Structure 1
Amino acid sequence: MQPDPAQAATADLRTGSAPRVLMLGTDPGGRGGVATVVSLLRQEGLFEREGVRYVATHAQGSRLARAGTALLGLGRTLGWLAGRRVRRPNIMHAHVASNGSFVRKSVLLALGRAAGCKTVFHLHGACFDGFAGRASPLMRRWICHTLESSSVVIALSSRWAGLVRGIAPRAAVVVIPNSVPLPPRATEPEEPGRILFLGEIGPRKGIYDLVEALALLRTRFPQVQLAIGGQGAMHELRRRADLCQVADRIDELGWVDAGNKAHQLARAAIFCLPSHAEGLPMAMLEAMAAGKAVVVTGVGGMPDAVRDGVNGMLVPPGDVQALAAALARLLENEQERQRLGERARATIEQEFASGVVIGRLSEVYEQLRSARARRRGR
């Protein structure tokens, strides 16, 4: 079993092994897209290749547990930054979302810059533009300052790169998508009519739209079933399913861990994520890697991965009629599902495979180290 990155960071701090990159983010053992991203970067060799030490600054749990993790992360980060210059990290790389995540990481990044680190602001927040737009004038200035002071801002898609530049025009933005491993092809057959949703249960992910679309499909497709994996507002989901008279067509999976995800993807005929706001969802990339036909909305970074009618289907967010029509087209056409699924898998192999993305991160690190060396050599 591989060690937990946060525990490894503590051990390295005790033994004095100096990291080249200090990476900050949520607990990789937790749930959610950022935790999955970090775990994959470690599993695919980035940490070993680039001398990365990981510090968890956030973890799921009670308010007290979250506060404890944040304080412990601050202490570990300060421990690395307060040492002799030769023992400090060259680069601080923070995985950032909105609200409290931004506040925590922006302060730590400022401390890193004060200690001489190059800093990488890796944006994951699906609603970061809304967060910045609603912020007070003082907070907006701090958001702009943080983005423009970072050595590099990593956006997950070209659309998000444009949004970042709108918030902070002088930010040095590069586009690096999330990565996903290419799994072996599934050997178990799909179940006709089974639609799979993986994500947080709530309005942002469009699950209520999907329930309404299911109601439009139930008579025409007697086998149609919606498998829902995730946690959140389950009571509201059940209430809406009852109102739409589709409660008998829903299979509640609860949280789907990595061990069960491949099985659920293999069973599904279609993967659907009709989000209203997104970064670049890992669940969608994993479904594409598994060779599934995907129906998603054209928001966030999803259009960077899915080309409508080429390797998946795009529908407008909140348009239940269009969502039902796209699902119906695939439910009644197995050949079309297979065609889109094959093209989706090829897209992952060519553009989003772990090796490709890790190579691009390594290039960013090398450029920052070279710039730092040139500056110190003056």
Structure 2
Amino acid sequence: MAKILMVGPTPSQNGGVSNFIKNFIKSDNFETKCNVLLYKNGKIEQNESIFKTLIRDTIRIIQYPFSKDFWSSGLVHIHTASYLSFYKNSMYVIISKMFNKKVILHIHGAEFHLFYKKSKFLERYIIRNTLLLPDMIIVTSYIWVSRIKDIVNSDKKILSVPNGFDPTIFRPFPRDKARDRVGILKNKKALITIGHLENYKGHKYLIDAVNILSKKRNDILVYIIGEGSLRYELQNQIDSYDVEVVLAGGNKPDFEIPLWINASDIFILPSLAEGNPTVMFEALGCGKPFLGTRVGGVPDVIIDNRLGILVEPGDPEALAQAILQALECEWDHEYIWEYAQQFTWENIAKEIVKIYQSLL
């Protein structure tokens, strides 16, 4: 059985990369065909200071080539995002190639092209040459294949593998029963969105759209689930408009998230940038139509109007019109659920295992 050393954050932490690792390593396809050895980096505690994390990461990088797992593995699968995450993980790529290890660099997140664009000449040189080192690069959507190729300007093998969802957790559940559990009024049209309260998630434009809609109908209620630096700014915006938008907080227990999704009429994600949002697959897995923006890998998944509606990012007028259209549509929830099954973590793990086998 192949030994794979996976370098990435602790699965117990929040975030897209942690979520990917957690679900991937527990899938049957992975457990039966690979022996995964996890070399953890990043935060151990959620509220840990940047300084403490930096010190620990530096120590972990120094220890890396002396670890037993490093020497016993046949392939190293390194997960990274942008900015500081990339520079940190580039050290794992360099060390692994120094010792002739087979390396996969797995790039997550929504802003890698912006990270590169904003970088200075020397930083771009480091980024580009680091990307040339691994034997293969995995990205989360087709649009990122072309973006990374534009950076490396070579025939580097780059594959797209989407994120996924757990169908035992995210599955259809009666809407009214879900509303009883989370406390949503049954006589309202409920839109749910889940994400960090940060600029790139586009919540400002969703609130603007709800304000536009409030002049046309009074039965729409929006719940924004998440925490972040814009909480007070968004609350002030909601108060100034006096619209029915609720900042429902973050850090919900895992069992509550599928209840919130199932309690909705429409799941909405008004992001300005995305990689391949896991919550999109979770919503589809619950049979819910997806209303979102044409960013990142979203258009790769929402491929027809039976699955949802997409608009350009940062356009509250278009978003408001799409919400009206979505609420008036008769959605085939079974079709949405069936379509989503190709994105279960088991199927995603099967794709990754095939990549491993091609390199070993």
How does the TM-score come out when normalised to structure 2? 0.89
In 2, Cα distance between the equivalents of 1:35 and 1:188?
29
Query: Matches of 1:154 and 1:303 in 2, distance apart?
Result: 18
The answer as to 2:51 corresponding to 1:64 is: yes
Greater length-normalized contact order (CA 8 Å, ≥ 6 residues apart): 2
- 1:353: how far off? 1.9
Equivalent residues of 2:172, 2:285 under 8 A apart: no
2:353 to 362, 366, 377: 362
2:334 corresponds in structure 1 to 342
Match of 1:15 in 2: none
Corresponding residue SS for 1:252: strand
- Distance in 1 between residues matched to 2:255 and 2:175, nearest whole Å: 15
Residue 179 (structure 1) aligned to one of 157, 160, 164: 164
* Residues 36-65 of structure 1: per-residue CA shift (max 9 Å, x gap): 111110221325631111122111421233
Aligned to 2:182: none
Contact map agreement 2:145 2:159 (CA 8 A) in 1: yes
**Counterpart amino acid of 2:159?**
V
Q: CA deviation at 1:81?
A: 6.6
Equivalent pair of 1:296/1:314 in contact (CA under 8 Å): yes
Opposite residue 16 of structure 2, the aligned amino acid is: G
Shift of residue 239, structure 1, vs aligned partner:
1.4
Task: Name the counterpart of 1:6.
Answer: none
Partner of 2:286: 290
Matches within 5 A, 1:34-113: 34-45=17-28, 46-47=30-31, 49-59=33-43, 60=46, 61-80=48-67, 87-113=71-97
Equivalences for 1:219-230 in 2 at 5 Å?
219-230=215-226
1:238 aligns with 2:242: no
Paired residues for 1:300-339 under 5 Å: 300-333=296-329, 335=330, 338-339=331-332
Range with bigger deviation, 173-182 or 203-212: 173-182
Question: What's the CA shift string for 1:42-96, capped at 9, x where partnerless?
Answer: 221325631111122111421233224413532552333797xxx4311111111
The 1:139/1:48 distance shift into structure 2, 3 A limit, reads: farther
Match of 1:150 among 114, 122, 134: 134
- For the pair 1:26 / 2:9, whether they are aligned, the reply is yes
Amino acid at match of 1:74: I
- The 1-side partners of 2:31 and 2:60 are apart by 18
Question: Runs in 1 of length 4+ with deviation above 4 angstroms?
Answer: none
RMSD across aligned C-alpha pairs, in angstroms? Answer: 2.0
Percent of pairs identical after alignment? Answer: 25
Rate the CA distance shift 1:227–1:76 in 2: closer, same or farther, 3 A: farther
Structure 1 residues 368 and 143, CA, compared in 2 at 3 Å: closer, same or farther? same
- Tell me, yes or no, if structure 1 residue 164 matches structure 2 residue 148: yes
SS state of the match for residue 67, structure 1? helix
Q: Contact 1:19/1:88 (CA < 8 Å) preserved in 2?
A: no
Q: Which moved more, 1:237-246 or 1:110-119?
A: 237-246
Hey, what's the Cα distance between the residues in 2 that align with 1:149 and 1:290? 40
Q: Distance in 2 between matches of 1:139 and 1:312?
A: 39
Confirm or deny: 8 A CA contact 1:55 1:76 kept in the other structure.
no
The answer to whether the Cα contact below 8 Å between 1:20 and 1:91 also exists between their aligned partners in 2 is yes
- Superposed CA deviations along residues 86-133 of structure 1, whole A, max 9, x for unmatched, are x43111111111111101111111101112211111010210001111
Q: Report the Cα distance in structure 1 between the residues aligned to 2:327 and 2:49, rounded to whole angstroms.
A: 42
The answer to whether the Cα contact below 8 Å between 2:207 and 2:245 also exists between their aligned partners in 1 is no
Instruction: State the one-letter code of the partner of 2:22.
Output: S
Distance 1:221 1:56 in 2: 50
* 1:251 positional shift: 4.4
Aligned partner of residue 255 in structure 2, secondary structure: helix
More helix by percentage = 1
* Number of residue pairs the alignment of both structures matches: 343
- Counterpart of 2:347, as a letter, is V
